């Protein structure tokens, strides 16, 4: 049975274009696989930044952790477990100031755990989350995907690949400030071509 992890990061709530697109993508996937299950993770309230306390909690022997460290590790493990359990990740990528939202970056930082999502080998880094598919719903007001000012899509694709997730597709509503209807039409066309 297919399991979908829907990740939203937009702070715009119901007015969010990326949220609208992630909803449509999940709907299409569920229509093709009626038994599919979905876990929704909303990052907009914020994701803890990694820091020294996080390092101490995540990489220490679990038996040595105090209550605060146990709570930090439990949150980090929850993010990781959701990704591990997913066959398909549907990720909302609203472009903020030419890049990924801070909360989405913090989520990726939480996932970047040596020995859990990647390892270093003699041949270089190797991702450990192989065999998953990611569909990214990207929205932006002014940035065109793939342009010199797009520091979001390439970064997210790279991080997913670093974790071993190389089957990555984009549904994009970009440059909405220059024509919202045209931007949405491009996204709808990509959605129509998306294999479920």
DSSP secondary structure letter of residue 178: G
Please tell me the distance from the alpha carbon of residue 58 to that of residue 60, in angstroms, as a whole number.
6
- CA neighbor of 3 nearest in space, from 28, 41, 38: 38
Q: Is 119 annotated as a binding residue?
A: no
Q: Is 153 annotated as a binding residue?
A: no
Chain mean position to CA 27: 18
Q: Is 18 annotated as a binding residue?
A: yes
Please tell me the distance from the alpha carbon of residue 61 to that of residue 119, in angstroms, as a whole number.
19
Residue 179, number of CB atoms within 10 A of its CB: 11
- CA neighbor of 187 nearest in space, from 175, 168, 174: 174
Where is the binding site for FMN, in residues? 10, 16-18
Where is the binding site, in residues? 10, 16-18
């Amino acid at each position: 049975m297919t399991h979908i992890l829907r990740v939203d990061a937009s702070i715009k709530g119901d007015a969010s274009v990326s949220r609208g697109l992630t909803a449509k993508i999940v709907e299409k996937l569920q229509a093709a696989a009626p038994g599919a299950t979905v876990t929704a993770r909303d990052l907009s309230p914020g994701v803890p930044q990694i820091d020294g306390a996080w390092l101490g909690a995540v990489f220490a022997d679990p038996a040595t952790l105090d209550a605060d460290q146990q709570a930090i590790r439990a949150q980090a493990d929850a993010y990781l477990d959701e990704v591990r359990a997913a066959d398909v990740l549907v990720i909302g990528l609203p472009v903020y100031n030419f890049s990924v939202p801070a909360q989405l970056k913090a989520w990726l930082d939480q996932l970047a755990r040596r020995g859990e999502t990647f390892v270093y080998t003699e041949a270089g880094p190797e991702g450990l989350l192989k065999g998953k598919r990611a569909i990214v719903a990207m929205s932006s007001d002014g940035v065109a995907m793939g342009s010199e000012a797009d520091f979001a899509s390439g970064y997210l694709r790279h991080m997913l690949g670093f974790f071993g997730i190389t089957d990555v597709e984009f549904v994009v509503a970009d440059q909405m400030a220059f024509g919202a209807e045209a931007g949405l039409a491009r996204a709808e066309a990509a959605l129509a071509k998306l294999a479920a």
